[in-house]
Amino acid sequence: MLGIIGGTGLTQLANLEITHRKVARTPFGEPSGALTFGHICDQEVIFLARHGYGHTIPPHEVNYRANLWALKDHGVDRVVSVATVGGIHPGLIPGMLVIPDQIIDYTHGREATCLVENGKPVTHLDFTFPYCDRMRKALLQAAASAGISLRDGGVYGVTQGPRLETAAEINRMERDGADMVGMTGMPEAYLARELALCYAAVGVVVNYAAGRGLSADGIQMEEIQSVLGEVMLQVRHLLEQLVTNDAAGLCQF
């Protein structure tokens, strides 16, 4: 079953026919909100708003472990994570979608593993390629089928938040090789790997990163809001096509 994690601007899915909601319990506490069960194009999915349904949980306080555990515990085996990002690479402009293929983690102090049991050896997992290639290909195929233009690949630099970055920090991230910046990509992606979930992300570019383009003199929050509404329509169309392709047996999971 497909699980969808919505970020800023996607606290609900207009194309989701809701059947019921369920409050989940996990060994790591409660997730960001109740799991929303429903159907997109007659296919069952589970939706979860990463920041809560009132967008009240900041990025550094999201219970990522509980979120991923709850989805897995209720039958999810593949996850699409939707996250807003700022464009560092000059080709990533507001209103674009991107399917990242790599991560640089700048976060700190977040609970980053589910594999914590007293008396048991530490578990190390390969994370060379942080996203599930099958889900990435399914998203790219869905975009092609739906006529949605997006960028294939890019390095997602994950910062701590909730503050936005300085221009100097963005310059550093660019030197490191980051193409986009956001606050929620980790430890979410790694926890999905621990739980054997086929996980990929859709980056929604809503602004130029600090010191870039129209953000050269500062990031204007009202401009982000104006971009969000329009680009999230593309995200919904992308998800509809993904589910349609899956139902038709076009996705190899």
pTM score:
0.92
9-25: burial string, b at 16+ Cβ within 10 Å, e else: bbbebeebeeeeeeebe
Q: What is the pLDDT along the chain (253 residues), one digit of tens a residue?
A: 999 998 766 655 657 788 999 999 999 999 999 999 998 888 899 999 999 988 899 999 999 999 999 999 999 999 999 999 999 999 999 999 999 999 999 999 999 999 887 667 888 899 999 999 999 999 999 999 999 999 999 999 999 999 999 999 999 999 999 999 999 999 999 999 999 999 999 999 999 999 998 888 888 877 788 888 888 889 989 999 999 888 776 666 5
Give the number of other Cβ atoms within 10 Å of residue 198's Cβ. Answer: 21
Beta-bridge partner residues of 38: 18, 45
For residue 27, count other CB atoms closer than 10 A to its CB: 10
Amino acid symbol at 13 = L
What homologous superfamily is domain 2-247 in, according to CATH?
Nucleoside phosphorylase domain (3.40.50.1580)
39 beta partners: 17, 44
Domain boundaries, the chain: 2-247
